[in-house]
């Protein structure tokens, strides 16, 4: 057992008692089917390791599709209508993804979800996402729809406080987490992706947001 297993054990699983406003939909899609659409988006705006305001670079590589894309640099976090690397608009969110995201949001109790941003996070083994909340959007009545593809991950729901207590949600290829309402501004994190042999080379997370 390595240090990661010990840390995972600190967070009891969420399965039997999901926090209010967090809905987990299992096995709704998969990386294999979505890879062509992801490749088309990254041909327009390649994955990059963004700098955070403190100066560090994220271990996760990101890009975006949609009218707005989430960006970070030394000056702060923001949504940008053009890719700062190229000055060009982001690729549009594929119609099929808009329909899927709206359907999953509706299943979770949010019937009118029209995302204008799909943030794409790519996690190589070892990459992680520190505790944060999604707070750069205009309208917190709209949920976040977060799709896990490829390698498995441990998502940690921390809720009202950055320091927890946390609860683990094991996410596999095709699982979808919707958080909105009471949970919309909840803190969350992703444990480092394990280097175990897997059918997938990485984990990809699609996060659909209504940013503007």
Question: Is residue 134 involved in binding Fe ion (CB under 5 A)?
Answer: yes
Identify what 121 binds: ligand SIN, Fe ion, none; CB under 5 to 8 Å per kind.
ligand SIN
Q: Supply the minimum distance, in Å, between the C-beta of residue 199 and ligand SIN.
A: 19
Nearest approach in angstroms of CB 64 to ligand SIN is 12
Name the residue nearer to ligand SIN (CB basis): 88 or 195. 195
Select from Fe ion, ligand SIN, none the partner in contact with residue 204, using the beta carbon and a kind-dependent cut-off of 5 to 8 Å: none
Which residues have C-beta within 8 Å of that of residue 104, sequence separation ≥ 6? 25, 28, 145, 147, 176, 178
Q: Of 34, 146, 154, 168, which one interacts with ligand SIN (CB under 6 A)?
A: 146
As a whole number of angstroms, the distance between CA 79 and CA 82 comes to 9
Does 205 participate in binding ligand SIN (rule CB under 6 A)?
yes
Contact partner, 205, from Fe ion, ligand SIN, none, Cβ < 5-8 Å per class: ligand SIN
Based on its alpha-carbon atoms, the radius of gyration of the chain, rounded to whole angstroms, reads 16
**Residue 155 binds ligand SIN (CB under 6 A):** yes
- Euclidean distance between CA atoms 154 and 78, whole angstroms: 26
Strand partners, 71: 78
Write the burial class of residue 154 (CB in 10 Å: 0-12 exposed, 13-18 middle, 19+ buried).
Answer: buried
The span from the CA of 11 to the CA of 192, in Å, is: 14
Instruction: Quickly list H helices, 85-184.
Output: 95-107
Least distance (Å) between residue 207 CB and ligand SIN: 5
Give the N- to C-terminal CA distance of the chain in Å, as an integer: 45
Residue 29 or 146: which CB sits closer to ligand SIN?
Answer: 146
> Which residue shows structure tokens 């060009």?
88
Q: Interface with ligand SIN includes 121 (CB under 6 A)?
A: yes
Does residue 175 interact with Fe ion by CB under 5 A?
Answer: no
Using CB under 6 A, list all residues that contact ligand SIN.
121, 129, 146, 148, 155, 188, 190, 205, 207
Contact set with Fe ion (CB under 5 A):
134
């Amino acid at each position: 057992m390595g240090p990661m297993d010990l840390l995972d054990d600190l967070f009891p699983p969420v399965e039997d008692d999901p926090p209010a406003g967090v809905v987990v939909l299992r096995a709704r899609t998969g990386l294999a089917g979505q890879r062509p659409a992801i490749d088309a988006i990254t041909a327009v705006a390649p994955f990059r390791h963004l700098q955070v305001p403190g100066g560090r670079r994220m271990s996760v590589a990101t890009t975006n599709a949609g009218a707005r894309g989430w960006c970070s640099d030394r000056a702060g976090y923001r949504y940008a209508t053009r890719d700062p690397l190229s000055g060009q608009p982001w690729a549009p969110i594929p119609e099929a993804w808009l329909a899927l995201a709206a359907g999953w949001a509706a299943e979770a109790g949010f019937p009118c979800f029209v995302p204008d941003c799909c943030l794409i996070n790519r996690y190589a083994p070892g990459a992680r996402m520190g505790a944060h909340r999604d707070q750069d959007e205009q309208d917190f009545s709209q949920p976040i729809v977060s799709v896990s593809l490829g390698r498995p991950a441990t998502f940690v729901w921390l809720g009202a406080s950055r320091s927890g207590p946390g609860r683990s949600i094991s996410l596999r290829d095709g699982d979808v987490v919707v958080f909105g309402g009471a949970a919309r501004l909840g803190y969350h994190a992703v444990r480092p992706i394990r280097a175990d042999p897997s059918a997938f080379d990485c984990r990809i997370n699609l996060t659909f947001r209504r940013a503007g």
